[in-house]
């Protein structure tokens, strides 16, 4: 039988022992064996730090993000190989789509976000420059730089592709190497994924390693620069978070654990309404996708007491139509649990849940299956419970990690908010209602206990991604029982892998360190206008001072007529005089900005291709007829694009009046050719 390999210290390692058997969830047949015996965990971490880290840090955020796109395309070409193995975990085609395509989608998303939201630089200058002294010679700004360690990523068995990729992508963009430890039960899918990645040669060596089998003494070797991102049960999260080395070295520890997520049907959604049907459909979907083995699945379904019979009936009718069996058979809607042990665990949890309620659909010990043997494969009927006393503890505490959900009645808005909170922290909740007031009250009341809340109604249903799907752009974790992690999802997950440092210095030194011009740093005025310089020649600090130009009453009248902006402050002397901010006719803000452009541009065709916007525009003091304007334009940030022959240049623009008072300040955004 094949032994799963680990990829550590730059080579594939095959254990020299028999290993523990892993079984096909559908047929019970042995698929592979697994053991991490002989893996030198300390050496693997050191390899990441010494080889992977430096190679990644040679690249900019954009260069790493661009590699993710190449990798995503490569995996797309090979996804059938992953699908084939995914079926053996009990996953249907629909389930594999969530795992495999969802995982590849995360790579595409981080590739795009990394290039749009981060600079094409090796360090991130974050937030505004803080003036720390009166004279302006002492300023501060935060920089964020990649941690010099390894991101250890420990995953749950239910998403062997999406799980590793959702953690690897932000670590990679950040410039931190990953060491992936998948859950043993489905590690054969992750082994294939890592094999596809490593053999592609797309990533720098050391940026991704794999440990198949138990983690052994891995955590003992963590340093303060390493991180741990864990997905799995709350019990394991608790244990690992308290690991001596993790505590001693203040290792960043992110946990996404199990939770008792709820879905709430609004009181307006009576049987026959669109929202009633949406609620029923979503609940059945969440119970049956991945055979309910999703940390985000709906475990608690709260419905108005008056509608509970109708909901129980409608959900049961729909569940009765769910075909169960061999996931390779296209007629099958729900496959198997990940293994027989998992099924036993769900049955044990069901016993506790049944103390608090009754089963209204399904039989934990019997299920009809298509194209498979119900005893050899880990098949289980979907089970809908009904707990008429929603104050019982069990439904709020016991997670049956399978196709199991409990219906409970509520009596009013405050009651249902209190019930939602009894999960003591959840990854996600949903409210299905056509009543925006009810939705608002529930969302604001339940938000502190949730990482994510979905409001589902007739308007968004068609395009909604549903209750159970964590999205790469939004946070994943949840408070309390859900693990307390809110670092993953979106660019915040990249930042999680960076160390934020407050740098205090003079403007000149700060500009040098961050690679961005800051106010007070030297400007360079040369004979050549900065608009005549391509990215190859342009330097941060290059500037042009243009003007003066006097604004006349005629200019203001003309601008009013020409644009139709006849706001009284520009056209009605009495009304303008009565305005406490102006005291008389003032020039339009947009006129001032337009005059500034007229002053600073260099008009002939050249490397500047387009002006694509302004940011942070502030009009600081009114400009009256007769005032004279001067504008200073300074190249502030230069961001060449990796995949185009141009890049972005952000310019600092400051318009001052004859006495030096600032009239307006803003950033001008342009596209400039590389050569
Ligand atoms: P688990 O038993 O807690 O295992 C999770 C991971 O931790 C596995 O990779 C496991 O490896 C590893 N592990 C266990 N003990 C360890 C130790 N002492 N040192 C280092 N690693 C250790 O959870 P599971 O059974 O795989 O997954 C099911 C649970 O995960 C459910 O409760 C579910 O709600 C939760 N989950 C949460 C999320 C989320 O995003 N919040 C997502 C999916 C699943 P081995 O397999 O090799 O033991």
| CATH code for the domain in which residue 166 is found | 3.40.605.10
SS3 34: strand
CA angle 186, 284, 451 (to 5 degrees): 70
Query: What distance in angstroms lies between residue 254's CA and the mean position of ligand 1's atoms?
Result: 13
Query: What distance in angstroms lies between residue 235's CA and the mean position of ligand 1's atoms?
Result: 9
Q: Please, are residues 427 and 477 in contact by the beta-carbon 8 Å criterion?
A: yes
Nearest protein CA to atom 30 of ligand 1, as residue: 232
The whole-number pLDDT of residue 579 equals 96
* Phi, psi (degrees; rounded to nearest 5) at 289: -60, 135
Atom of ligand 1 nearest to the CA of 342: 25
Residue 318 shares a structural domain with residue 368: yes
- Mutation to probe ligand 1, out of 217, 236, 484 (largest number of atoms < 8 A from CB): 236
319, exposed or middle or buried, with CB in 10 Å at 0-12, 13-18, 19+? buried
Instruction: Look up tokens 């991102």; give the residue.
Output: 229
Looking at the domain assignment, is residue 613 inside a domain? yes
* Gap between the Cα atoms of 263 and 292, Å rounded: 15
* Phi, psi (degrees; rounded to nearest 5) at 187: -65, -20
What is the 8-class DSSP label of residue 352? Answer: H
Query: What distance in angstroms lies between residue 589's CA and the mean position of ligand 1's atoms?
Result: 58
Q: Please, are residues 390 and 408 in contact by the beta-carbon 8 Å criterion?
A: yes
What are the C-alpha distances in Å from 578 to residues 42, 145, 552? 75, 52, 21
Instruction: Look up tokens 């390894």; give the residue.
Output: 150
SS3 675: coil
Residue 275 shares a structural domain with residue 218: no
Domain that holds residue 401: 262-470
Residue 537 shares a structural domain with residue 666: yes
**Which pair of structure tokens corresponds to residue 497?**
């892998």
Looking at the domain assignment, is residue 387 inside a domain? yes
Nearest protein CA to atom 38 of ligand 1, as residue: 295
Give residue-wise pLDDT tens across range 143-171: 999 999 999 999 999 999 999 999 999 99
CA dihedral angle for residue 641, residue 646, residue 648, residue 654, rounded to 10 degrees:
160
Looking at the domain assignment, is residue 233 inside a domain? yes
Nearest protein CA to atom 11 of ligand 1, as residue: 183
Nearest protein CA to atom 5 of ligand 1, as residue: 232
CATH of the domain at 604: 3.10.129.10
Residue 286 shares a structural domain with residue 149: no
Atom of ligand 1 nearest to the CA of 483: 41
Nearest protein CA to atom 19 of ligand 1, as residue: 215
* Gap between the Cα atoms of 610 and 606, Å rounded: 10
Residue 437 shares a structural domain with residue 376: yes
The whole-number pLDDT of residue 1 equals 67
Looking at the domain assignment, is residue 485 inside a domain? no
- Which regions in the chain score pLDDT beneath 50? none
Residue 614 shares a structural domain with residue 569: yes
SS3 32: strand
- Mutation to probe ligand 1, out of 183, 212, 403 (largest number of atoms < 8 A from CB): 183
SS3 649: strand
Question: In total, how many domains does the chain have?
Answer: 3
Query: What distance in angstroms lies between residue 146's CA and the mean position of ligand 1's atoms?
Result: 27
Query: What distance in angstroms lies between residue 290's CA and the mean position of ligand 1's atoms?
Result: 16
Residue 346 shares a structural domain with residue 241: no
Residue 381 shares a structural domain with residue 296: yes
Active site residues: 256, 295
Residue 179 shares a structural domain with residue 308: no
> To the nearest 5 percent, what fractions of the chain are helix, strand and coil?
35, 25, 40
Last residue in a domain, options 459, 483, 498: 498
Query: What distance in angstroms lies between residue 144's CA and the mean position of ligand 1's atoms?
Result: 30
Residue 309: how many CA atoms within 13 Å on its side-chain side?
1
What are the C-alpha distances in Å from 12 to residues 189, 199, 212, 215, 496? 16, 11, 11, 17, 29
Residue 273 shares a structural domain with residue 240: no
Query: What distance in angstroms lies between residue 156's CA and the mean position of ligand 1's atoms?
Result: 4
Give residue-wise pLDDT tens across range 486-496: 999 999 999 99
Which residue spans within 266-421 are E strands per DSSP?
298-304, 358-361, 383-386, 404-410
Looking at the domain assignment, is residue 372 inside a domain? yes
Give the global pTM.
0.95
Residue 456 shares a structural domain with residue 558: no
Atom of ligand 1 nearest to the CA of 214: 47
* Gap between the Cα atoms of 431 and 187, Å rounded: 35
Could you tell me how far CA 427 lies from the centroid of its own chain? Answer: 14
Looking at the domain assignment, is residue 11 inside a domain? yes
Looking at the domain assignment, is residue 479 inside a domain? no
Query: What are the residues whose beta carbons fall under 8 Å from the beta carbon of 507, sequence distance 6 or more?
Result: 129, 136, 137, 139, 518, 519, 520, 521
CATH of the domain at 379: 3.40.309.10
Nearest to 95 by CA among 517, 469, 449: 469
* Gap between the Cα atoms of 73 and 31, Å rounded: 28
Residue 395 shares a structural domain with residue 450: yes
Query: What distance in angstroms lies between residue 155's CA and the mean position of ligand 1's atoms?
Result: 6
Which residues are near ligand 1 (CB < 6 Å)? 154-158, 181, 183-185, 214-215, 231-233, 236, 239-240, 256-258, 295, 399, 401, 427, 483
Looking at the domain assignment, is residue 476 inside a domain? no
């Amino acid at each position: 039988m094949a032994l799963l390999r680990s990829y550590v210290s730059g080579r594939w390692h095959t254990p020299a022992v028999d290993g523990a058997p892993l079984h096909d969830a559908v047929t019970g047949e042995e698929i592979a064996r697994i053991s991490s015996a002989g893996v030198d965990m300390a050496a693997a971490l050191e390899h990441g730090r010494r080889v992977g880290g430096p190679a990644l840090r040679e690249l900019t955020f954009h260069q790493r993000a661009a590699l993710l796109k190449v990798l995503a395309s490569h995996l797309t070409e090979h996804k059938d190989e992953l699908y084939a193995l995914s079926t053996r975990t009990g996953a249907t085609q629909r389930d594999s789509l969530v795992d495999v395509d969802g995982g590849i989608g995360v790579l595409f998303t981080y590739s795009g976000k990394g290039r749009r939201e981060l600079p094409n630089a090796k360090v991130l200058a974050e937030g505004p420059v803080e003036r720390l002294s009166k004279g302006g010679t002492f300023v501060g700004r935060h920089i964020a730089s990649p941690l010099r360690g390894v991101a250890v990523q420990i995953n749950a068995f239910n998403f062997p592709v999406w799980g590793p990729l959702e953690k690897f992508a932000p670590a990679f963009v950040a410039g931190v190497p990953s060491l992936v430890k998948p859950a043993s039960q489905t590690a054969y899918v992750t082994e294939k994924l890592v094999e596809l990645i490593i053999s592609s040669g797309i990533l720098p060596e050391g940026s991704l390693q794999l440990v198949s089998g138990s983690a052994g003494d891995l955590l003992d070797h963590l340093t303060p620069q390493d991180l741990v991102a864990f997905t799995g049960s709350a019990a394991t999260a608790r244990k690992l978070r308290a690991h001596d080395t993790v505590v001693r070295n203040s290792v960043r520890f992110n946990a996404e654990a199990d939770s008792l997520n709820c879905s709430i049907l609004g009181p307006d959604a009576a049987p026959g309404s669109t929202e009633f049907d949406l609620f029923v459909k979503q609940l059945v979907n969440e119970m049956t996708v991945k055979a309910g083995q999703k940390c985000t699945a709906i475990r608690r379904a709260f419905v108005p007491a008056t509608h509970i019979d109708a909901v129980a009936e409608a959900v049961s009718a729909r569940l009765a139509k769910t075909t169960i069996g061999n996931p390779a058979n296209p007629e099958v809607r729900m496959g198997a649990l990940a293994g027989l042990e998992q099924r036993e665990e769900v049955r044990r949890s069901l016993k506790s849940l049944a103390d608090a309620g009754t089963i209204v659909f399904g039989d934990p010990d019997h299920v009809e299956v298509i194209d498979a043997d119900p005893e050899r494969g880990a098949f289980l009927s979907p089970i809908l419970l009904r707990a008429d006393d929603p104050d019982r503890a069990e439904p709020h505490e016991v997670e049956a990690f399978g196709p199991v959900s409990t219906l409970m009645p509520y009596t009013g808005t405050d009651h249902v908010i209190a019930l939602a909170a009894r999960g003591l922290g959840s990854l996600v909740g949903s409210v299905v209602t056509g009543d925006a007031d009810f939705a608002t009250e529930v969302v604001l009341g339940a938000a502190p206990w949730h990482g994510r809340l979905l409001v589902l109604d007739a308007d968004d249903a068609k395009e909604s991604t549903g209750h159970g799907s964590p999205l790469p752009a939004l946070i994943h974790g949840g408070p309390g029982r859900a693990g307390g992690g809110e670092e993953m999802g979106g660019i915040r997950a990249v930042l999680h892998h960076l160390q934020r440092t407050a740098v205090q210095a003079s403007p000149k030194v700060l500009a040098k360190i961050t690679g961005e011009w800051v106010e007070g740093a030297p400007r360079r005025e040369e004979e050549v206008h900065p608009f005549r310089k391509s990215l190859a020649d342009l330097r941060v600090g290059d500037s042009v001072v243009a003007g003066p130009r006097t604004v006349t009453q005629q200019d203001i009248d003309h601008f009013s007529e020409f644009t139709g902006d006849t706001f009284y402050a520009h056209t009605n002397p009495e009304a303008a005089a009565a305005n406490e901010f102006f005291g008389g006719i003032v020039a339009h803000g947009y006129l001032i900005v337009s005059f500034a452009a007229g002053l600073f541009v260099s008009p002939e065709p050249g490397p500047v291709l387009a002006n694509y916007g302004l940011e942070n525009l502030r009009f600081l003091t009114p400009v009256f007829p007769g005032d004279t304007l001067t504008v200073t334009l300074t190249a502030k940030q230069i961001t060449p694009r990796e995949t185009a022959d141009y890049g972005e240049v952000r310019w600092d623009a400051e318009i001052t009046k004859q006495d030096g008072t600032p009239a307006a300040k803003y950033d001008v955004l342009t596209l400039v050719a590389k050569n």
